[in-house]
Amino acid sequence: MAHKCFISFKTQDAAYKQYIHDHLDIDMIDKSLHEPINSDDEDYIMRKIREDYLSDSTVTIFLIGEFSAENNYMQNQRYIKRELQASLYHRAGNTRNGILGVVLPSVKNKIFQGSYFCNSCFSNHNCVSINDDTVISEFSYNYYIPQEGKCSWEENERYCVLTDWDNFCQNPNYYIELAFQKRLSPIAQKIKVRP
């Protein structure tokens, strides 16, 4: 089944967005913005994106690159933040999207840092550095939804789905479907639109 997907990305990562569109065999209806909206009015631009692109999409693919972090003070994050906020928001005329984060090669090692031994539960965990230094807070909060006393999260305890570029390219429909299914899962009741 084809899902209506919106791709959220920084301008510096536009080549990856274009690669998805032109080269991957994805069963999706592309709801992405292909041309900039001709306006300097930020509120107008976001309204057009919400009404014309996001309102009937079901999955937002967030390309995570070097310029996607909340704490990247050199970059203006307002558009990407508002795109994810609109994707998470659920009301009449705007259904909540599943969120799929795709880690681009330039930041793969910064985010996927191997495993470590946890002194709290005495097991090994994978170290996945999803925080304000790697992504915007709308993604990090809904990936690691706060839970008292937790040292690790199971897949059903996260709203956002995460993979790296190579795995996404090998099986994009699988990851899009995972994100789509999160929309109606119990964890969807615990998300925050503006953390």
Number of structural domains (the chain) is: 1
Residue numbers of the domain that contains 110: 3-190
Distance CA 72, CA 81 (A): 13
Q: What phi-psi label fits residue 149: left (phi over 0), alpha (psi between -120 and 50 degrees) or beta?
A: left
Query: pLDDT tens per residue, the chain (195 residues)?
Result: 789 899 999 989 999 999 998 999 888 776 666 666 777 777 777 777 777 767 778 999 999 999 999 998 776 788 888 889 989 988 776 789 999 999 999 999 999 999 999 888 899 999 999 999 999 999 999 999 998 888 889 999 999 999 999 999 999 999 999 999 999 999 999 999 998
Q: CATH code at 43? A: 3.40.50
Burial of 38 (0-12, 13-18, 19+ CB in 10 A): exposed
C-alpha pair distances (Å), 165 with each of 63, 70, 116, 168, 169: 9, 21, 23, 5, 6
pTM for the predicted model, two decimal places: 0.91
